[in-house]
Structure 1
């Protein structure tokens, strides 16, 4: 039975804590409920927003359509072979709880993605990533319900068209499908990723040497790093990294490096370099700065924050000013990672 509500506050359903309202609201626990929902022509025709953990959204106004809160649960091993274990999770499963499940069972590959907020169904849409690992490296396939037909379609790795914080669900398939489950291919023998960020230093501080490495140790290190740098949304409204790390040509990087010798960069291919957006923002003097109750986090310049009572428009205004500062100083355009509604 569907419980469709109207004029529902979304404040507790987005990590920025913005008090936008949904014209219609429904929570979905099963695929069958999805099919039932879209048999109602009124809702089939309405603008739709699929909501997971609300950790990658900025509401700048009320949503005059239907918000579908995906809460399908369940984690199970569907098959395994000599090298891999295949783990299927419902779209509404909390991402970090899924990571902990895999770490506790010795299924390797997700550990670097510990403590990322949000739900499993949203993970492939954004191709979430952290500390040298992205979803596409462990993704096998997903199941999604076609909004028009109610039929379930399987998307394999190639069909998802993953890119840097990109997938087909942000482009051609946007608004056409609702992800109901995701299956991951995880390793029985771990391949450790410790080169990115402060993982090695943190492991050393934890007293863990190279020959003592485990996926739990890496997960614990990532959790420690994230908690030290990123604000808890329950205390300070935020959506994690607000901007993507920009990629620029190696020639442009060399030119900027001559003017800014401390500029960090990471090769992403033969011709491009990825520059940390947080470093660029900090160099422009935004770290810890705020305009009213909207601003930039004091410990991590990549994170925009709601210090209490800020509107989405006020946070977006800070984002625009940050973008302009970085473009004026470095000639680099920052693109939002957060979805702006």
Structure 2
């Protein structure tokens, strides 16, 4: 085994997943340099182990111990690369904290990412999930990223088309992306910035602050205020943020649901489909504030599942399945989970 790889055996993962689930890994390595990936793959013992790539641990539910090697992304670095076609390119290492990176871009006088402030996780995880909030998604400001192909050790730059972004989806969540490790991400932030206030809740927050022409920092502050009111702090209550995707249904199905449930929260999409509020559906099924074992639904936001203390991954999974079954039975709508179960 390479002597400069600080491999930790029988490692507790409780402090590196935001749900706070106490599972263990057979081996653990904090990645701080790209070269470490080549060293891992060159070692026959390490290369033969099952691998789990971990970022901020905010989009994962550990259902048991992991009998393999956890590679914990910690590659840092932030830089302004220059201008290109009316945008400013900024690059960050995959291990950078996402919210910290957003605030750094704002400190450089660059807007664009502010609607996604306070989303937990790392920069490297942001394109995997195509994270988004309040009318903005990573794909809207994405330029490119660099991956290491584990099989060959080769560095490769991928553009948006190669990443195959979808709603909370990308190539990295599918078999074709399984052997790719993101090491940095580059964003194209608009030089001519304008606030994105198309989500009513955010527009109301900005208006309530008396801001007729808000700055990007002020929009970020508004987003942070909303999220802190609605969502639990993982440092205090274990959670993985929004646990279910907002389901997208056809216009006819939405119309039928509205006839039966006039208060249904829905948002029209450009293709004629409708995005439904998963939190509203779950709330209507009576799950807000309820628990199964030590796993529960957050009292202030039904879209968030929480660890009430000592929850196992199995309990979280059982709660999620019970919620899915109830929503399907009442509304005929299938909910998909956002976190990955391991």
Same fold, TM exceeding 0.5?
yes
Is 1:53 aligned to 2:56, yes or no? yes
Count matched residues: 339
Query: In the TM superposition, what whole-angstrom CA distance separates every residue of 1:199-233 from its partner, at most 9, and x where no partner exists?
Result: 11111222212xx2111111000000000000001
Output the CA distance in 1 between the equivalents of 2:249 and 2:157: 35
Structure-1 residue corresponding to 2:121: 118
Matched-pair contact (CA < 8 Å) for 1:44–1:147: no
Secondary structure, aligned partner of 1:38: helix
Structure-2 residue corresponding to 1:314: 315
Structure-1 residue corresponding to 2:306: 305
Is 1:33 aligned to 2:36, yes or no? yes
Offset of 1:34 from its aligned partner?
Answer: 1.4
Secondary structure, aligned partner of 1:103: helix
Query: In the TM superposition, what whole-angstrom CA distance separates every residue of 1:167-193 from its partner, at most 9, and x where no partner exists?
Result: 000113332111000000001111321
Structure-1 residue corresponding to 2:195: 192
Q: Which runs of 5+ in 1 are unaligned?
A: none
Structure-2 residue corresponding to 1:77: 80
TM-score, normalising length: structure 2: 0.97
Secondary structure, aligned partner of 1:316: helix
Structure-1 residue corresponding to 2:274: 273
Secondary structure, aligned partner of 1:102: helix
Query: In the TM superposition, what whole-angstrom CA distance separates every residue of 1:300-333 from its partner, at most 9, and x where no partner exists?
Result: 0000000111111111111011000100000000
Structure-2 residue corresponding to 1:132: 135
Offset of 1:42 from its aligned partner?
Answer: 2.0
Q: Out of 8, 16, 19, which is 2:11 matched to?
A: 8
Structure-2 residue corresponding to 1:289: 290
Please list every run of at least 4 consecutive aligned residues from structure 1 whose deviation after the TM superposition is greater than 4 angstroms.
none
Structure-1 residue corresponding to 2:253: 252
Is 1:144 aligned to 2:144, yes or no? no
Is 1:42 aligned to 2:48, yes or no? no
Secondary structure, aligned partner of 1:16: coil
Aligned residues: CA RMSD? 1.0
Offset of 1:197 from its aligned partner?
Answer: 4.5
Residue 197 to residue 337, structure 1, CA distance change in 2 (3 Å):
farther
